[in-house]
Amino acid sequence: MAINLFVGNLPYTMDSAKLGEAFAQAGTVVSAKVIVDKYSGRSRGFGFVEMSTDDEAKKAIEMLNGTAVAGRPLVVNEARPPKQA
């Protein structure tokens, strides 16, 4: 089962492809998406990465949480499900 990770404090220059490449060093990336503002098209500074296994997700958190990318320390943790209205 794939595990979804929240990635915060991304540099605004990072796109989904670069995000996937960064997490590929920890294992198999199922998907990577940088969230962009629908009006400006600019990155909102966070995204989500789906890793193929729980072990790879844990490895990604250990390897990349707090790691500086373009001078910004990444925040990586397991994504919480969206709140129900």
User: What ranges do the domains of the chain cover?
Assistant: 3-78
- Mean pLDDT for 41-58 is 96
Cα torsion 51, 57, 62, 63 to 10°: value is: -20
The pTM of the full predicted model, rounded to 2 decimals, is 0.91
The 10 Å Cβ neighbour count of residue 41 is 7
User: Distance (Å, rounded) from C-alpha 27 to C-alpha 70?
Assistant: 22
The per-residue pLDDT of the chain, averaged, comes to 94
In this prediction, residue 4 carries a pLDDT of 96
Q: In this prediction, what percent of the chain has a pLDDT beyond 90?
A: 89
Closest CA relative to residue 44, chosen from 78, 83, 64, 14: 14
Res. 81 pLDDT band, cuts 50 70 90: confident
Quickly name the fold that domain 3-78 has.
Alpha-Beta Plaits (3.30.70)
Q: What pLDDT sits at residue 83?
A: 76
User: Is 83 exposed, middle or buried, given 0-12, 13-18 or 19+ CB atoms closer than 10 A?
Assistant: exposed
What percent of the chain is modeled with pLDDT above 70?
A: 99
pLDDT score of 85 = 67
Separation between Cα atoms, residue 55 and residue 3, nearest integer Å: 9
